[in-house]
Amino acid sequence: MNDTTKQRKALDFLLGNDLSPEEKIDGMSPAEVREYLADNGINVPQLEEKARALKAKLEGKFALAKARAARLEREAGCACNPAIRIPATIEEIRASLTQVFGSFEAIPLAARGFKGMDYEEYKSLYLDIMRNRQEGRSSGNA
| 2 has pLDDT over 60 | yes
- Indicate the number of domains in the chain: 3
Cα 97 from Cα 92, distance rounded (Å): 8
The more confidently predicted of residues 56 and 136 is: 56
In a domain, 47, yes or no: no
In a domain, 125, yes or no: yes
In a domain, 140, yes or no: no
| 141 has pLDDT over 60 | no
Query: pLDDT band at 138, cuts 50/70/90?
Result: very low
SS3 of residue 127 by DSSP: helix
Look at the pTM and tell me if it is higher than 0.75. Answer: no
In a domain, 59, yes or no: yes
Q: Are residues 12 and 30 in the same domain?
A: yes
Q: Are residues 99 and 125 in the same domain?
A: yes
In a domain, 60, yes or no: yes
Q: Are residues 102 and 122 in the same domain?
A: yes
Domain that holds residue 69: 53-80
Residue-wise pLDDT for 68-112, tens only, equals 988 887 777 655 556 777 888 888 888 888 888 787 677 766 555
Q: For the chain, how long is the longest CA-to-CA vector?
A: 89
| Inter-residue contact 9 to 35 (CB < 8 Å) | no
In a domain, 12, yes or no: yes
Q: Are residues 97 and 72 in the same domain?
A: no
Please report, to the nearest 10 degrees, the dihedral formed by the alpha carbons of residues 129, 130, 135, 137 taken in order.
30
Q: Are residues 60 and 28 in the same domain?
A: no
SS3 of residue 77 by DSSP: helix
Average pLDDT of the chain to the nearest whole number: 76
Query: pLDDT band at 137, cuts 50/70/90?
Result: low
